[in-house]
């Protein structure tokens, strides 16, 4: 049996922190599905298709990338996880402030799908403060973001805000 996890997010845009979590998950599971949520409520700057493409490009060279599957979804996460035959949901935690919200989601998902576990992973210390919102704000003000995001993402942000 293949042990598959799903790592969902809006990834608007994907950062080195997200990639670090994906690599950690690949160390724990046979396969990881990186699921890009449509979630228009967050008013993303990149379209759903652009985010899927950026995630694909950004993860192309990571260790174990051949065991990483990138998909888009527009449903309840537990429904998507079932369709992907996932046994776990991977979520990244940066700070205590993330925990309360993530705990609520994990408990709701457990109620909807008791067989699906939620696993919280923390990124490396040098990525703990990264968020997509901060990256977008830095890019909007033309700051150097090359230490925070892969090159294709930095270029896409530069184009978006030029």
Of the residues 4, 10, 24, 132, which is catalytic? 132
Instruction: Supply the DSSP string of 42-86, one letter for each residue.
Output: G--SS-HHHHHHHHHHHHTTSTTGGGEEEEEE-S-HHHHHHHTT-
Nearest to 30 by CA among 66, 65, 68, 4: 4
DSSP state of 29: S
Of the residues 4, 10, 18, 48, which is catalytic? 18
Active site residue 4: no
DSSP state of 124: P
Active site residue 51: no
Place of tokens 């925070």: 148
Active site residue 132: yes
Active site residue 63: no
Q: 57, exposed or middle or buried, with CB in 10 Å at 0-12, 13-18, 19+?
A: middle
Of the residues 3, 42, 142, 158, which is catalytic? 42
Of the residues 67, 94, 110, 160, which is catalytic? 94
Place of tokens 């776990």: 88
In angstroms and rounded to an integer, the radius of gyration of the C-alpha atoms of the chain is 15
Catalytic residue ranges = 18, 42, 94, 132
């Amino acid at each position: 049996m293949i042990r598959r996890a799903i790592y969902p997010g809006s990834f608007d845009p994907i950062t080195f922190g997200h990639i670090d979590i994906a690599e950690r998950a690949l160390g724990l599971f046979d396969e990881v599905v990186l699921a890009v949520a449509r979630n228009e409520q967050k008013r993303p700057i990149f379209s759903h298709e652009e985010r899927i493409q950026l995630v694909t490009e950004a993860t192309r060279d990571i260790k174990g990338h051949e065991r990483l599957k990138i998909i888009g979804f527009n449903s309840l996460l537990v429904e998507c996880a079932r369709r992907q035959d996932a046994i776990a949901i991977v979520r990244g935690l940066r700070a205590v402030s993330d925990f309360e919200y993530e705990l609520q989601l994990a408990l709701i998902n457990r109620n909807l799908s008791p067989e699906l576990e939620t696993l919280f992973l923390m990124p490396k210390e040098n990525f703990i403060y990264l968020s997509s919102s901060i990256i977008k704000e830095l890019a909007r003000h033309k700051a150097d973001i090359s230490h925070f995001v892969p090159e294709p993402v930095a270029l896409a942000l530069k184009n978006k805000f030029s």
